[in-house]
Amino acid sequence: MTIDRKVALNSLDQYWVYTDALDYSTDAYKDQIKALITDVARTAGTPKILVSVVTDREIALAEAASTYQAFMDEHGTDYVINEIPKKEATGWVASYTGGVDYENGGLSDADSAFEIIWFGASDNPTFEKWKAGS
């Protein structure tokens, strides 16, 4: 796991979590991801966090603010630009946003400020209102 501190609205920490490949043929994987995100939120002490779940470690290393430059230095700009998006297409499982009100552009405790975007190796991500720990 990689943690970037205070990346959203200069307040929320972002956690990049690497997990084994998942079976997307049913929605059962979503319960696994929710449990994982809940564990991260419990450890962080708050559901107001960002969590990106990926099945390829290179995605996290290439996308996390704290590891991006070192990853690009090691692998090169062409690799980051051309290969990482291919990996993201199948390896970016979900992203959780906890506590961001997109309409007002600020932090919020409202239920509407907590959601998961499910990518699940699909060209059509779906959105679910959900709060870690609920």
Give pLDDT tens digits along the chain (134 positions): 778 788 766 679 999 999 998 888 888 999 999 999 999 999 999 999 999 999 999 999 999 999 999 999 999 999 999 999 999 999 999 999 999 998 888 899 999 999 999 997 677 899 999 999 86
CA distances from 108 to 4, 12, 15, 89, 134 (A): 20, 12, 19, 30, 16
CA distances from 126 to 2, 10, 18, 22, 41 (A): 25, 27, 20, 17, 22
Query: Which amino acid type is present at position 123?
Result: D
Cα separation of 47 and 66, whole Å?
21
Give the total residue count for the chain: 134
Q: The whole model's pTM is what?
A: 0.90
